[in-house]
């Protein structure tokens, strides 16, 4: 049992403590530590009050208002600490995807129900439609000279 064995165990304990998410939270989160300290202090006060009472522990817990108050305070602090030590729910980052889907759906509905929007989109994609005016290359006088009567 040399110092190498002890230092190896200490290094292993240190690395496993660093990897533990709860230990890391305890080190980093000041409010968590404050909640745990408040719970310990309230529990200690209740314990000393129970010990100092001449009645039994059960009677102290059930009848002494100060003991009840300290135990309730300790329980509330522990509940708060438990909530803080839980891993916070991961926020889903689908806001861009959802916004894109809503935009696509809205655009599709506008195109389905609005004829002017469809025309504007087609004009933007394929260019504006040209008005087509048909003019005959033959005139009515030319048609009569060919021997074909013109219907009027």
Give the helix, strand, coil percentages of the chain, each rounded to 5. 75, 0, 25
Residue 112's pLDDT band, with cuts at 50, 70 and 90, is confident
Q: What per-residue string of b and e applies to 46-69 under the rule 16 or more CB within 10 Å gives b?
A: beebbeebeeeeeebbeebeebee
How much is the pLDDT for 151? Answer: 57
Residues in CB range of 123: below 8 A, 6 or more apart: 129
What pTM was computed for the model?
A: 0.47
Residue 145's pLDDT band, with cuts at 50, 70 and 90, is low
């Amino acid at each position: 049992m040399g110092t190498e064995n002890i230092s190896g165990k200490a290094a292993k304990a240190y690395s496993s403590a660093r990897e533990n998410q709860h230990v890391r939270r305890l080190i980093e989160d000041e409010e968590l530590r404050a909640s745990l300290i408040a719970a310990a202090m309230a529990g200690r006060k209740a314990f000393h009050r129970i010990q100092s009472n001449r009645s039994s522990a059960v009677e102290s817990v059930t009848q002494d208002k100060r003991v009840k108050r300290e135990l309730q305070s300790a329980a509330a602090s522990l509940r708060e600490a438990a909530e803080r030590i839980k891993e916070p729910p991961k926020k889903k980052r689908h806001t861009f995807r959802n916004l894109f889907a809503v935009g696509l759906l809205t655009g599709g509905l506008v195109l389905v129900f609005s004829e002017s929007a469809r025309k504007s989109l087609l004009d933007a994609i394929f260019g504006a439609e040209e008005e087509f005016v048909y003019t005959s290359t033959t005139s009515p006088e030319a048609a009569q000279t060919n021997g074909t009567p013109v219907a009027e």
